[in-house]
Structure 1
Amino acid sequence: MTDHTLPAQRRPAGRAGTAPPATAGAGSVTTMLALAARRAASSHCRFKMAAVLASGSRVLAVRTNVRRNSPKIDYRNATFHAEEAALRRVRHPVGAVAYVARVGHDLTPMLARPCPDCQRLLAEAGVTRAYYTVGPGEYGRLDLTPLGPPEGRIPSFRRRRAATGRPSTTA
C-alpha cells in the first residue's frame, strides 16, 4: 500500500480560456477518484461507496454499492460491493484500473480500501491496480496480482468419474 497526497488545484499558466495540458499520472488518478466520490454521494446504502473501472482515460463502468436484499433477511449479504457491481457491467476488464471512493454523510472522502473478497474478484477479472481514497486529499494504491485456484479446492464430480459412472469418493 502506498499513500499519496493529492496535488493542490492550480490554475494553468497561459491565456484565459485555454485548457490545461493533459497530464498522465496523479492528475488522472485524482480525476477518476473525484468521479467515484461524486457517484458515491448518490448511493442509498449506509456506507456510500462507488467504483470506477477505467482503461487509460476511458471509463468502462461506474457503479455504487447496491442493495440486493433486506438486511433483516441476510445481514452479511445485504449489498453488492461497488467493485463487484462495476465488474458485472464490464465484459473484459483485463488491464483495467479500479478507482474506489467512499464518502461520509458530510461528503468528505473516507477510507475505501477494497475488502479481500473484492481484491480477489478484481485480480481474477484481470484488473491490474486499484486506487482508493484514504481521507480528504489522500489516496492509496494497491497492486493486484492474479491468483491461481485455491489449493484446498474440491475437484468437480463431473471430471472424476469411476468406471461405473458414479462420482468418485476419493480425492
Structure 2
Amino acid sequence: MVDPLDGTREFLIGLPEFGVSVGLFEEGRLVLGAVALPPVDGGEWMVLSGLLDGERGVGRRNGDPLPRIEDGPDVGRVVVSRHDYERRRLQYQIPFAVHPAGSSVLKLAQVALGGAGVYLSTRPRSVWDVAGGAAVVEAVGGALLDARGEPLWLSPQQIRIPPFAAASPQRALAMLQAIGAGPGSRA
C-alpha cells in the first residue's frame, strides 16, 4: 500500500512536512513499513523503516538501527494536525504541550524518533496515510490505540481508520485517559 504524497497541502505551500508512506501487508497483517521525509534545513532525505517480526520489531533510520521508544506515563510533547490546532484549538483542551505538524507520516515519524511523545489523531484517517509510519512506530516498541485503548489493527481492506493515539503503550493510554477516552470510556 503506497501513499506517494501524504501531506499534499504542506507540499503545495512549501512546508517540508510531507512524506511518502509504504506499508506491506501479508495475509491481512501489516508486516513492513517505510516512510521517506524531505530534507530540513539543507539536510538530506530521511528514510525510516519498520519490520514487524512477532513480538519484537526492528526499526531503522537510513539503514542504522533505531532505539526503542521510551515507555512510561509521562506523555511529553503531543503532535496533532494543523486543523486540530488552528481550528479546533486542541492546545487549550489537552493538559500537555501540544504542537501542530503536517502529514500523518511526519507525526508518526516524530513519535518513532522520540521527537514527540504522542501523536493524537482525533479524526478518521486513510489507511494508506498511516500504514508505513504505523509499522515504524510498532517496530520500535510503540502502539496505535483506538479511543477505547485497544490496539488499532490495520488491514488492506480498510479505507478509513478511526481516531487513535500513537505512542508507547503507557503514553498512549495516559493521553487517552487525559481526554476522557481509553478503557472504560464510552468512546
Q: Which has the higher strand share?
A: 2
Higher RCO (Cα < 8 Å, 6 or more apart): 2
| Smaller-chain TM-score bracket | under 0.3
Q: Which has the higher helix share?
A: 2
Question: For the pair shown, which has the larger CA radius of gyration, 1 or 2?
Answer: 1
TM-score normalised to the size of structure 1?
0.26
